[in-house]
Structure 1
């Protein structure tokens, strides 16, 4: 029989995959990996904001992550050199967050949980938040799927079809901020981008359509979560990084399978 905390951890990983799978597909297609990093790193500043104002941690991280995502999207629309800008914002947000958190001695020993996640300590309330957030993100992307896909493939075609690319970009920005807020407890600020990118990149190597890639990313993310938890229990390794290791292993297998299929 599994212990209750293991069941909650497994359900949290699967629930998070509902959001990171389809959203990660768009992150890969749009080459928004660094964008995801900047938003995730800002989550630590959100933790400090929540502690300073007695807000729930999830709400604080959501507010700051959304602010960072909107800032980055606004700068991109104005033609800023995004590689340099994102590098500055990502690392600055993380540094400011770490410095701000240091003013709260009670959380210093627990800082690694915010950086690398603590999925084994997910409570029933946090589990409900993960599933609610994952369901909202999945439903939002499903609702805007065709418009998001068209805007991603060709903005001129999107305009001709009556689709506003800026609006679809905003949908992704808000979905990314919500995903960061609910993922912080599971995999931590430093590994959120990996959970977005690696399952989607693995699914791309074996999928034959955009829809198959998004669904495949969900399945791979869920599988990696369960396998990572098993590895963590077996070898007594950190749960969050173990999930990413499992996802990376699936990526290697998928890449090899995709290469063999193309050669065949």
Structure 2
């Protein structure tokens, strides 16, 4: 049973768990090049959250149902030869968000719909924290048990198939983890800003390290830092927490890009100096 925490301590625990979860799953998003799909999914869960609030039900469950339904639609569109995954993701993004806005206009909610869009981490509950913790454990277990399969199928799907394995299995697992993460972090950064916390830490980690194992260490660390620093900044500067967290994640990505660029520029010089030193 979770001890009684004040609202800020509970929010801090949630951003730590959400940052770690987003970082771990974000590595999968980056390796499988699913950033646009993730952005579409974050928008597409909005109508499910609105519908659940209208019916007095659980917002995470409503968002999860919408995510499953829209993933099925996207997979169907993606199988049309003249379309493809990019088209499917675009349809999800626009149609999902438009449906959420339509539902909200037809039956205005007593609660603040903006909280679905940019998050309201200071209002998280113990159930929100529990969901994030469960998904974090599940994501870590998937990487521990099937990490090599996920990386192999991400890097060379044709080779994975020729090796006698089924690419749809890691793809389904990946989509399920991404959808679950989008739903879990919605209270923290909302439906619009969720993609920043999922993609930016993992993309930043990839700029600094090359090995996916180290990405799994660095990306969650960046995600946690984004959450903690963003939440503290929102308290000290009286800012929206979701926006502050997303902005910190973007700034850390920029810092990683500078570090990676400096390293890449220095590498040819170091190699040239080594060659010259060995040349008689």
- State TM-score, norm by structure 1: 0.92
Of 219, 222, 231, the match for 2:221? 219
* Preserved contact between residue 35 and residue 69 of structure 1 (Cα < 8 Å): no
Does the Cα contact within 8 Å between 1:25 and 1:214 map onto a contact in 2? yes
1:192 counterpart (191, 194, 209): 194
Selected match of 1:145 from 136, 147, 156: 147
Note the alpha carbon deviations across 1:200-248, whole angstroms, 9 max, x for none. 1111111130111122111100001011012111211100010011111
TM-score (norm 2): 0.87
Partner of 1:55: helix, strand, or coil? coil
Query: What's the offset of the Cα at 1:13?
Result: 1.1
Q: Which residue of 1 aligns with 2:250?
A: 248
Query: Could you say what secondary structure the match of 1:106 adopts?
Result: coil
Q: CA deviation at 1:168?
A: 0.9
RMSD: 1.8
State the partner residue of 1:66. 68
Where do 1:121-200 residues align within 5 Å? Answer: 121-200=123-202
- Paired positions, count: 261
Offset of residue 170 of structure 1: 0.7
Q: Displacement of 1:136 after TM fit?
A: 2.0
1:87 and 2:74 are equivalent in the alignment: no
1:51 matched to 2:53? The reply is yes
Q: Any idea what SS the aligned residue of 1:69 has?
A: helix
Q: Which residue of 2 aligns with 1:206?
A: 208
Structure 1 unmatched runs, 5+: none
Matching residue within 105, 109, 112 for 2:108: 105
Structure 2 portions without partners, runs of 5+: 267-280
Largest Rg, 1 or 2: 2
**CA gap 1:48/1:233 in 2 versus in 1, 3 angstroms:** closer
Post-superposition, which runs of at least 4 consecutive aligned residues in structure 1 deviate over 6 A?
Answer: none
Contact 2:75 2:88 in 1 (8 A): no
Structure 1 residues 91-140: Cα deviation after superposition (integer angstroms, max 9, x where no partner): 11111012113344334x51110000011111222212221222223323
Q: Distance in 1 between matches of 2:73 and 2:150?
A: 20
Alignment CA distance shift 1:70-1:19 (3 Å)? farther
Q: Is the 8 A contact 2:49 2:59 kept in 1?
A: yes
Distance 1:143 1:63, change over 3 A: farther
Distance 2:150 2:229 in 1: 31
Cα distance per residue 1:125-177 (max 9 Å; x no partner): 22122212222233233322111111001012212333211111111111111
